[in-house]
A and B are shown apart, each in its own frame.
Chain A
Amino acid sequence: MTGESRIRFLRRLGLLAVGGVYVAAGALKVPDPKAFAVAIVEYRLIPEGLVPLLAVVLPWWEILAGGMAVAGVWRRGALALLAGLSAAFLAVGTVTLLRGMSPPCGCFGIGSDKIGPATIVMEASLLVLTGALLAAELRGKPGSGAVGSMEAGAGGGTTPAARG
């Protein structure tokens, strides 16, 4: 395996990991928006009027952005959104811990572990990985198309707009 193909392989792996984690996280929240809303309320950071709306739309941001990052559709936008979500989750988790609270994370729907150092490490790792993948996309090196079908990768644009 050459250096370039090794990098490409690692990128595919990274995209599958990040996309997979977010698709799973979103999909586990969708069936029970009430439970997710309760999890958001317990962070006591979001105005209560916004909680139900966020509980309904946020899981779909995760599912779509995760799925599109893997599929190679609007990959830059998808990775940028995932990086933003990772940064927001990391900030919320850190602030919550600093306030001496440890509510259930809510990261993967009902039954998620409570917020703790492990959650922070997980969110930070996701942010670093997503940030690295986004940086590679923005440099224009990586390929387009679905993870399974990524080949030479010239051009880097993943959308008609980016290509044009």
Chain B
Amino acid sequence: MKPLFSEIAALLAFASGLGLAVNAVSPAGIAVTRALPITDLDDRYITAEEAKARFEGGRSVFVDARTREEFAAGHVEGAVSLPLEGFEARYAEVAKLLPREAELVVYCRGAGCSESRQVADQLQRLGYERSRIRIFRDGYTAWKQRGWPAEK
């Protein structure tokens, strides 16, 4: 057993060292010695305040990635429902509401959900520019808690 554990330990050490070395010289490398907030890891993420500023600016289209039932129960005023489930069929229905020159702000329930990022990824695959897609990380929960404009 001892040689087995030695092999595993050596392999882990060597591979980790290699990974850290590659990361240190790679243009895509990241800082490994501190926690990175998700807004640093993915530049599409925006805070609640940034989402509100975009809402007030009136040039961004809010995209609700939650289920239709959740959307019906309440959503950001003027948001377009585009759930992850059945994305393609629904996109065909709402494509006209999502012009490519507009900035899209995608949200779901809050920091514990990932549908907003997945819908953002799908939109990018459809050709929307990454720089025009924003993900409102704290989502509808934060929007509602702050009493910002919502509708059913």
Hey, which bits of chain A sit against chain B, CB under 8 A? 30-35, 37-38, 41-42, 44, 47-49, 51-53, 55-61, 63-65, 68, 74, 76-78, 80-81, 84, 101-104, 110-111, 114, 138, 159, 161-162
Contacts and interface: CB of A to CB of B under 8 A. Distances in A.
Interface in B99-152: 112, 114, 117-118, 121
CB-based closest 8 A-B pairs:
A77-B7, A60-B19, A161-B3, A64-B15, A48-B35, A57-B19, A60-B15, A103-B114
A23 to B, nearest CB: 12
Interface stretch (B25-33, B47-55, B58-66, B75-83): B25-33
B91 to A, nearest CB: 17
B95 interface: no
B113 to A, nearest CB: 8
Q: Which of the listed residues B3, B16, B34 has the most CB atoms from chain A within 10 Å of its own CB? A: B3
Interface in B1-50: 3-4, 6-8, 10-12, 14-16, 18-20, 22-23, 26, 28-36, 38, 41-42
A114 B141 CA distance: 23
Given A74-B11, A77-B10, A60 B16 contact: yes
B28 A33 contact: yes
Contacts of B114: 42, 101-104, 114
Nearest to A33: B30
B11 A68 contact: yes
A115 B28 CA distance: 26
Given A48-B35, A101-B112, 4 more contacts: A52-B31, A52-B32, A64-B18, A74-B11
Contact of B6 (A51, A64, A161): A161
B15 A57 contact: yes
A34 B15 contact: no
A56 B7 contact: no
B15 A63 contact: yes
B3 A34 contact: no
Contact of B23 (A44, A47, A56, A111): A56
Contacts of B32: 52-53, 56
A74 B31 CA distance: 31
Q: Which of the listed residues B7, B18, B28, B117 has the most CB atoms from chain A within 10 Å of its own CB? A: B7
B30 A52 contact: yes
A7 to B, nearest CB: 22
